[in-house]
Amino acid sequence: MPTLRWTTVHTPAPDAEAFVMASRLEVRSLSDVPRFFVKSLASWKQVCRAPGAYGASLIAEPLKRTFWTLSAWQDKDALYTYARTEPHKSIMIGLRPTMKDSVFTFWQVPAAGLPIDWSDAKRRLAEQAASA
């Protein structure tokens, strides 16, 4: 399972809050996996230079057609600005037809608690999927 481990982009102030987003993204077929993976790497590069990004991680499970993302941001506006900025904006639009299922969850934590543990993120995603 290819994993891009947690990378700290900007170090937050010790007393700061972080806005966290986790996602589970599933593509329709195995033939969609290579394209999704390449596009996710472009998004990863963008996160690594995005204003307000504290850090991020990615897990790819290609044989399950599933990708997991986890990121922490200065605030909701920083995350949404990233999502609306190229190349992420075009990547999201371009990949929509290949997506089977997507789950997103958001929460806040003290920045001193970064990086977020993947088990916590996956639990939150499972709870979000169950309530949808």
Q: Which domains does the chain have, with CATH numbers?
A: 3-130 (3.30.70.100)
Residue 62 near residue 5 (C-beta atoms within 8 A): no
Question: Phi then psi for 115, rounded to 5 degrees?
Answer: -80, 155
Distances (CA, A) of 106 to 68, 87, 109, 111: 14, 22, 10, 15
Q: What is the pLDDT of residues 24-62, one digit of tens each?
A: 999 999 999 999 989 988 999 999 999 999 999 999 999
Q: What is the pLDDT of residues 66-90, one digit of tens each?
A: 999 999 999 999 999 999 999 999 9
DSSP for residue 128: H
Q: What is the pTM of this model?
A: 0.93
